Amino acid sequence: MAGSLIKVDEEIVTSAVASVSLLGIDSTYDVYQLVISNYQSASNQSIAMRVTESGTPNSTANYDEASKYLKSSSAFSNFSNTNQTSGFLTTTVGSTAGYNGNTTAYLFNFNNASEYSFYTVEASHSETSGGVLGLQGGGVFTSTSSCDGVYIFGSNSYNFTGNFTLYGLKK
């Protein structure tokens, strides 16, 4: 499947920032892929996402999500929320050097103003205690609007670094 991922936007963040926007979602592709690698926060936090409309993040309480936390240090657990102002993309990532997180999310219907935008997510990272955490789940933006990107930020407003790439999946 060589050539099936087409890079749409990318931000390589080496000096910590509070947020990253990846834009360029349009009707060219039916499905987009968001890849976050080597994410590290200035302090313990998850990273969250909002859809963007005309480049502006939508912070209305229209985000529903559900996921399973996979933990090496304890039992698995479920997580779900409705009517939130954002959706989670990771479990909590620590601030200690070497404890990085990685996420892959698939974005569906984002540019279709007649359908809800939804996503699936898979994430993993190492804990400061030496364990490994994973997240498998998804979410939906329960408003019919044309979304042109994603706004990524820390759930506790701490700055972060990492590589953030948005791909289109070739039809």
**pLDDT digits over 40-92, tens only?**
887 777 889 999 999 999 999 999 999 998 887 778 889 899 999 999 888 66
Q: What backbone phi and psi angles, to 5 degrees, belong to 121? A: -145, 140
pTM for the complete prediction? 0.92
- With contact defined as beta carbons under 8 Å apart, do 144 and 53 qualify? no
Give me the domain span that covers residue 159.
5-122+129-169
Is 111 in contact with 148 (CB distance < 8 Å)? yes
- For residue 149 the two structure tokens come to 């990107």
* pLDDT (0 to 100) of residue 95: 61
CATH number at residue 69: 2.60.120
Sign of CA dihedral 5, 11, 17, 20: negative
170 token code pair:
């070739």
Report CA torsion sign: 42, 63, 91, 53.
negative
Q: What is the pLDDT of residue 167?
A: 98
Indicate the number of domains in the chain.
1
Query: What is the residue-averaged pLDDT of the chain?
Result: 90
